[in-house]
Amino acid sequence: MAIYFQFPFCHQVCKHNEDKTSTFAEILKFMEQKRTEVNELGEFGLIKHLTHSFENKNATSIKGVGDDAAIIDAGDDYLVVSTDLLMENIHFDLTYAPLKHVGYKAVVVNLSDIYSMNAIPQQITFSLAFSNRFSVEALEELYAGVKLACDHYNVDLVGGDTTSSLKGLLLSVTAIGRVPKSQVVYRNTAQVNDAICVTGDLGGAYLGLQLLEREKQVFLANPNMQPQFDNNTSLIKKLLKPEARKDIIEALAKADILPTSMMDISDGLSSELMHICAQSNVGCTIYEEQIPIFEDTYNQAIQFEIDPLNCALSGGDEYELLFTVHPDELEKVLDIEGVSHIGNVRPASVGKHIVTKGGNQYELKALGWTHF
């Protein structure tokens, strides 16, 4: 690419005249340009738009953009690589998230993407940018959480990058894992009639967030107030200290079960199930009465006047696994503690539905977390 100059660059990115150096002529020029807002494409539309012209040039790049992690041929095994960016006040709020938990969670959410390819994570890199608001002691707290996660999940911290930011804390974690070639599980390989399974109990993290946000408002109005969480600490724990389902991946291997497709539930059950369906070109039917809802979700959802089912279907930040298995494997899968059978894969022409306890059938909607 030839080097080129164009001052100010600002008009390519800013909507209004935020840059005081912009001249009236520059603003007029900017107004003549076509400008597409990112939310017109949505997160996944944007990723597709920016990456569709990239073709893999190396035979070792087995799976690129589009799954929980990339798959790279490493001889006998596949290497599995996933990366995540966590921004203060977008992904975590230091008013109520202790730095040690933030460090722990930053690692766990990445490991979850490795497990969801049926792989075992072995290494992470951890990068951070921070403003002068953060002391050495604060960063030590963050790293205490990173260490706890590395020890708990048996992964090694093998690098990273450290830089300053003008405002706030930004974390980037890359996780690397391995899987025997025959054992890798993608999102786009669900088959009609497969059983749809989910691990754990859903909805808790969403309500944990609502509780923390409520108490934050109380605290901001009166900084002498301490939070009132009654008996709801389990919901808060779900949000602040999630775990990746290493145990499930180990149990599946032990039982000699290979899911036909799998992903983790970072953005909500229904939206993730719709990803599996879209990428596998299938439909699905799931049943309300079979969806595992986290125990404390019921009481708290009623207090917030929210339907507990919606918390389970649309609440993000769960890091449970959503997977499909051949119907012959279902009995064996249900022997694994913490696995629920929530429905079945159907032909794409049937569509994607949820059947309520009352027997009504509704089209499944992806109301999960979106970033834009």
Q: How far is the CB of 24 from ligand ADP (least distance, A)?
A: 35
Give the Cβ contact number of residue 51 at 10 Å: 11
Residue type (1 letter), 314: S
**Nearest CB to ligand ADP, comparing residues 107 and 301:** 107
Rounded-to-10 torsion of CA 324, 330, 333, 339: 70
Give the Cβ contact number of residue 156 at 10 Å: 11
User: Binds 66, which of Mg ion, ligand ADP, none (CB < 5 to 8 A, cut-off by type)?
Assistant: ligand ADP
Tell me: does residue 113 bind Mg ion (CB under 5 A).
yes
3-state secondary structure of 316: coil
Tokens of 33: 């340009």
**Nearest CB to Mg ion, comparing residues 88 and 264:** 264
User: Binds 350, which of Mg ion, ligand ADP, none (CB < 5 to 8 A, cut-off by type)?
Assistant: none
- Site residues (vs ligand ADP, CB under 6 A): 47, 51, 65-68, 84, 113, 266
CA distance 244 to 78: 20
User: Binds 85, which of Mg ion, ligand ADP, none (CB < 5 to 8 A, cut-off by type)?
Assistant: none
Site string for Mg ion, 226-265 (x = CB under 5 A): --------------------------------------x-
Q: How far is the CB of 51 from ligand ADP (least distance, A)?
A: 5
**Nearest CB to ligand ADP, comparing residues 243 and 329:** 243
CA distance 295 to 315: 15
In the block, tokens 């309500």 appear at 207
Tell me: does residue 68 bind Mg ion (CB under 5 A).
yes
Contacts of residue 86, Cβ cutoff 8 Å, sequence gap at least 6: 92, 102, 106, 109, 170, 171, 172, 173
Contacts of residue 32, Cβ cutoff 8 Å, sequence gap at least 6: none
**Nearest CB to Mg ion, comparing residues 100 and 187:** 187
| Residues that bind Mg ion in the complex, under the rule CB under 5 A | 68, 113, 264, 266
